[in-house]
Structure 1
C-alpha cells in the first residue's frame, strides 16, 4: 500500500509555485470546482517514499522526474556523465524541489504528468455525457 492517499473524487496536484507552469496549474485546479489537494513542493517536504511512489505511478524512473536541463542542475552536477543512483536522485529532489521537471496530478489511481496548462484543461474537460475524458499518456 502506498503512502499517497488516492481518492477518485479528488484531484491531487504536486507542483512548484516557483515556476510559471506550477502557478498556472494551481490556478486551474483551484478554479476547477472539483475537490482537490494541492501540494506546493517548494513549501511542503515530499518524502523519498512519496517521490518513489510518484515515479512508479507515472511508470518512470526517479531520474525522469528531474529537469536535468535546468541551469541549477547543470551548475551542481554538470552536463554530461551524470551517474546518480535512486538515492542520489531523491537527494536532488529533496534539496532542490524546483528541479521537478513537470507537475503531477493524481486522480483516483491515475497519475498524470502535466507538461503544460493545456494538458490539465484537456484532462479535465468533460465529454458530451458530462464524464471526464481519460487523459492519454504519451
Structure 2
C-alpha cells in the first residue's frame, strides 16, 4: 500500500494512551498526519496484504498475544497467512501497536519513537 510521501497515515487504537503518543510525535514531524482507528482500517484482504507486505512481517506478528480473546480463541492455532489476515480483518482490536505509513514505507510502532523511522527513511530518499 502506497501513501503520499508528504503525509503520514496512522491506524491506531483510540483507547490506548501509547497509541495517542505515536500520533503526537508524528504531528511534531512537520508533515500532515491522517489518523484512522483500527475499526476504520481497510476491510479488504488485499489492503491488509499490502500493509503487511510493506511492514515485511507475518500477519501473526501484528497481534497482541496477551489479549484475553487471543488467549482463549486463537492461541495455538496454526493458520495460513490468508487466514491470519482474516483474523486481523475480523478482530482489528487485537492489533498490538499503531501502524504508520508514509510513501511506500510502513512501520509497526511498538515503541512511540518508532514513528521517527519514517522520517529517517524519507530523509535518505
Q: Same fold (TM over 0.5)?
A: yes
SS in structure 1 at match of 2:120: coil
Alpha-carbon distance between aligned partners in 2 of 1:38 and 1:72, rounded to the nearest angstrom:
25
Q: Which has the larger radius of gyration?
A: 1
Deviation at residue 109 of structure 1 after TM alignment: 1.3
Count of aligned pairs between the two proteins: 121
Deviation at residue 35 of structure 1 after TM alignment: 1.2
- Which residue, 23, 29, 35 being the options, matches 1:26? 23
Deviation at residue 89 of structure 1 after TM alignment: 1.4
Are residues 1:72 and 2:45 paired?
no
Normalized against structure 2, the TM-score is what?
A: 0.79
Structure 2: unaligned runs, 5 residues or longer: none
Structure 1: unaligned runs, 5 residues or longer: 125-131
Alpha-carbon distance between aligned partners in 2 of 1:7 and 1:97, rounded to the nearest angstrom:
24
Are residues 1:49 and 2:46 paired?
yes
- Which residue, 15, 38, 44 being the options, matches 2:12? 15
- Which residue, 98, 123, 129 being the options, matches 2:117? 123
Are residues 1:6 and 2:3 paired?
yes
Say what the alpha-carbon RMSD is for the aligned residues.
Answer: 2.2
1:69-118 deviation line (CA, Å, top 9, x unaligned): 3222011123x3x1112332122212221111221211111112211112
Higher relative contact order (CA closer than 8 Å, sequence separation 6+): 2
Which structure has the highest helix share of the two? 2
Alpha-carbon distance between aligned partners in 1 of 2:15 and 2:86, rounded to the nearest angstrom:
19
